[in-house]
């Protein structure tokens, strides 16, 4: 299964909240004019998405010190665990480029 097919399957499986979260994330990146940098970074590190999510789990206690209820952090961690999630974010960034 290609990245494209994985991402399409995941898009259908995502909840409305997860889709809205990805849209907000992409909007935030685009608003800060970081779209090309984010695209390049995410494209380069796409195979490491799952490792990234595990690193986020590891740093969760540290994040909680400065951010009492890191709901978005947790949502992003859960999303990154799924294959194709970075491709979904890349698609949203492409649409805003």
Residues that bind other proteins (CB under 8 A): 2-5, 8, 36, 39-40, 43, 90-91, 94-95, 97
Minimum gap (Å) between residue 13 Cβ and other proteins: 17
Which among 3, 55, 67, 60 has a CA at the least distance from the CA of 89?
Answer: 3
Q: Determine contact, residues 79/85, Cβ cutoff 8 Å.
A: yes
| Number of neighbours of residue 7 by Cβ within 10 angstroms | 20
Phi-psi region of 17 (alpha: psi -120 to 50; beta: other; left: phi over 0): alpha
Minimum gap (Å) between residue 2 Cβ and other proteins: 4
Minimum gap (Å) between residue 35 Cβ and other proteins: 9
* CB closer to other proteins, 4 vs 27: 4
* CB closer to other proteins, 32 vs 54: 32
């Amino acid at each position: 299964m290609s990245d494209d097919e994985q991402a399409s399957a995941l898009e259908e499986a995502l909840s409305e909240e997860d889709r809205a979260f990805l849209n907000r994330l992409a909007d935030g990146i685009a608003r800060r004019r970081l779209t090309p940098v984010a695209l390049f970074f995410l494209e380069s590190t796409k195979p490491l998405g799952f490792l990234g999510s595990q690193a986020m789990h590891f740093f969760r206690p540290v994040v909680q010190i400065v951010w009492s209820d890191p709901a978005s952090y947790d949502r992003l961690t859960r999303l990154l665990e799924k294959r194709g999630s970075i491709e979904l974010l890349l698609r949203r960034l492409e649409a805003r480029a």
